[in-house]
Structure 1
Amino acid sequence: MIKFRIAALSIMVVMSLMLSACGTSSNNAGTGKTNNAGGSSTTSEATATATDSSTNAGGTDTVKLSGKVVIYSPNNADINNPIVKEFQERTGVQVELIAGGTGELLKRVEAEKDNPLGDVFFGGDTASLGAYSDYFEPFETKEKANLNPAYLPASKLYTPFTLLPMVIMYNKELVAAGEEPASWKDLLDPKWKGKIAFADPGKSSSSFTQLATMLTAFGKDDEKGWEFVQKLVANLDSKLLSSSGSVYKGVADKEFAIGITLEEAALRYVEGGAPVGIVYPSEGTVVTPDGMAVIKGSKNMDNAKAFIDFAAGQDVQALLQKEFFRRSVRTDAGAISGLPDISSIKTVDYDYGWVTANKTAINERFAKVVTGQ
């Protein structure tokens, strides 16, 4: 087990990525509504119109574009908003941001396959993107040389965005010192019955990754993994949350003593001074990338690719590390102060191919466990 604590710091209101920003724009990211973040937009295909001497996220000249890009994203609004705003101001592209859960948005992409209304899928676990591979266009970002090759798919289906370790979060006012869970197995202790926050894997991509991680840790091929999951579900006491955001918020607000969540989500509460702690389970966890993908048949293909290049670039990745404690996928990124190095976190042998191929079957079986079938 590795326990992690960092001192509370003041949250920066003005983010470093936005120093060059001028003007303001209304943003409804996170509401599930369409967002014309930079004002009115056209429906024309993006075209390059000029280059100037300003610097983009990858450190090269920004290409000025026209038109719009429609982004489907399960990311939190506080992550999306500064990235979208700066992309608009640097490129001239108007962004329409559609927020929702990963599963919900992927089903939308599938339903729109004959007339795609979105251009980019921004966020979500890569297994989920892989399960919907028929609806995405292979694309190789110009930032490829700067990205960790371990997280680049041979299929070019997606571009990795950030690295996300899965952790156990606990509330120090509800969990006595010395009684913190040290492992996934500790979650089965009867004293935690009904006190564990966990999201529905069918609705939350991060929760699905956590489920697949636990199955792997205890035995995905010999039923021992599912034996563990059955016991865990019993200890949840029928409390299955509808979103990943409800997990870390529930722990921080003392609705739950323990939560299964993302490292970066828990860390933001630690950084904000909440009485919470983090555990990297002793059996091992997974450090997985979330992804960005171009929607097949995109009506604004050039702008879609430009946005992915931008989000994989040095400026955005530095912002994510500094302000949101998200680990960069870039090889030239520095370490995040106070965080354990990736190499020190014990991981399970996470089989991405198996997870992607069995995503539907895993979710269906989990639903049966929950309903007692």
Structure 2
Amino acid sequence: MRKIWLSGLMGVILTSVLLTACGSDTGTSTATDASNAAADSDSGTLTIYSPNAAEINNPIIKEFQERTGITVDLITGGTGELLKRVQAESGNPLGDVFWAGGADSLASYSEYFEPYKTSEYDNLLPNYVDESNTWTPFNALPMVITYNKEIVSEQDLPKSWEDLLKPKWKGQIAFADPSKSGSSYTQAVTMLTAFGRDNEKGWDFVKKLVANMDGKILSGSSLVQRAVPDGEFALGITLEDAALRYIEGGSQIGIIYPEEGTSAVPDGAAIIKGTKHLNEAQQFIDFVVSKDVQELVQDEFKRRSIRKDVDPVEGLPQTADIKLVDYDFKWASDHKDEVIGRFVGIMMGAE
């Protein structure tokens, strides 16, 4: 099955960039069982809200539809935008699944999600699962600094978050608005943690970073991912897998794991409370964490798997070898409004 899918997946990847999307245990089947149950599910439908890039969404959703017969309506946007949509629609949910976006961002909206313990739960790495099962981890996502090799010389390479404050990088740092991007919010908390989340040292760093950004803040993480390879910015704060995909595509960029430490918070998938398609939603959660999906996402998109039985990505430092900050997931979830409010205030010059 995996070889057949891989062949089909490669063809989908070549065309997916041309596609755009419209803008408690249960006895649910696993992803493997789903392929045998397609005939029984061919009348099902599912609406998925996702901030994922099209090159990730399209082949995975295509495979899910082919295996299960379930028709998927995909709605894309930024994590913050889509979470607010879930909140606004809570009286009459129009979506069924929220797929991807930092799990800390999903946790801050936990009241709008339906707990579900995936049938794959025992195969997941315990440090990535949610004890309440409000969300299910999809991939582990280290946060990195990326740089354009045609702009940044080897001798000028930043090695740390602190190095981003050097005057030479004024106006040359791509970073997304954390009120709109879930990954950017995780990055902001990562930097706060590295310098002192519970005192003003962390916020002093943020103030200096925002000043060195020279008023340039991007509206989404995908813009950061493109801005550095395109030469619009010398440096960027982004996701490891996004940088790796550009490198594999031939872009002259490099990756730095900051000396102070970074984070590898998972993104997640969650069932929207009040969904009218609960069975289909549960099937999708089981599908995206099944072994063959996790293997292919890791192989093709360089996203680190959250399963115990999937081999690590070749050619990358192991997660255990990357210096990580003590990222307090609960703190990040509980203080999201406060952190975003203060960050936006700094960007607006209120501090």
Give 1:274 shift.
1.1
Whichever residue aligns with residue 188 of structure 2, its letter is: L
What residue number does 2:116 align with? 139
Aligned pair partner of 2:64 in 87, 100, 122? 87
What residue number does 1:38 align with? none
Q: Is the 8 A contact 1:29 1:98 kept in 2?
A: no
Equivalent pairs, count: 340
Partner Cα distance (1:194, 1:79) in 2: 31
Closer, same or farther: CA 272–336 of 1 in aligned 2, 3 Å: same
What residue number does 2:37 align with? 63
Structure whose residues are more often helix by fraction: 2
Partner Cα distance (2:241, 2:8) in 1: 26
TM-score, normalisation: structure 2: 0.92
Q: Is the 8 A contact 1:18 1:82 kept in 2?
A: no
What residue number does 2:5 align with? 17
Give 1:27 shift.
7.8
Deviation sequence 1:183-229 (CA, Å, 0-9, x none): 00000000000000000000110011000000000001111000000
Deviation sequence 1:228-265 (CA, Å, 0-9, x none): 00000000000000110111210000110000000000
Partner Cα distance (1:182, 1:276) in 2: 15
Query: SS state of the match for residue 89, structure 1?
Result: helix
Tell whether 2:210 aligns with 1:221. no
What residue number does 1:164 align with? 141
Whichever residue aligns with residue 262 of structure 1, its letter is: L
Q: Is the 8 A contact 2:245 2:302 kept in 1?
A: yes
TM-score, normalisation: structure 1: 0.87
Tell whether 2:308 aligns with 1:331. yes
Query: SS state of the match for residue 156, structure 2?
Result: coil
Tell whether 2:284 aligns with 1:307. yes
Aligned pair partner of 2:156 in 179, 183, 189? 179
Aligned pair partner of 1:74 in 51, 60, 63? 51
What residue number does 1:322 align with? 299
Deviation sequence 1:326-353 (CA, Å, 0-9, x none): 0000110012110110000000000011
Give 1:17 shift.
3.1
Closer, same or farther: CA 107–228 of 1 in aligned 2, 3 Å: same
What residue number does 1:286 align with? 263
Aligned counterparts, 1:221-300, within 5 A: 221-300=198-277
Aligned-pair identity in percent equals 55
Aligned pair partner of 2:22 in 33, 44, 47? 33
Whichever residue aligns with residue 165 of structure 2, its letter is: L
Partner Cα distance (2:221, 2:17) in 1: 19
Structure 1: gaps spanning 5 or more residues = 1-14, 35-47
Q: CA RMSD in A?
A: 2.3
Whichever residue aligns with residue 102 of structure 1, its letter is: T
Give 1:104 shift.
0.8
Whichever residue aligns with residue 338 of structure 2, its letter is: A
Q: 4+ runs of 1 displaced by more than 6 Å?
A: 26-30
Give 1:307 shift.
0.4
Closer, same or farther: CA 150–59 of 1 in aligned 2, 3 Å: farther
Whichever residue aligns with residue 257 of structure 2, its letter is: Y
Query: SS state of the match for residue 252, structure 1?
Result: coil
What residue number does 2:87 align with? 110
Closer, same or farther: CA 306–145 of 1 in aligned 2, 3 Å: same
Aligned pair partner of 1:359 in 336, 340, 344? 336
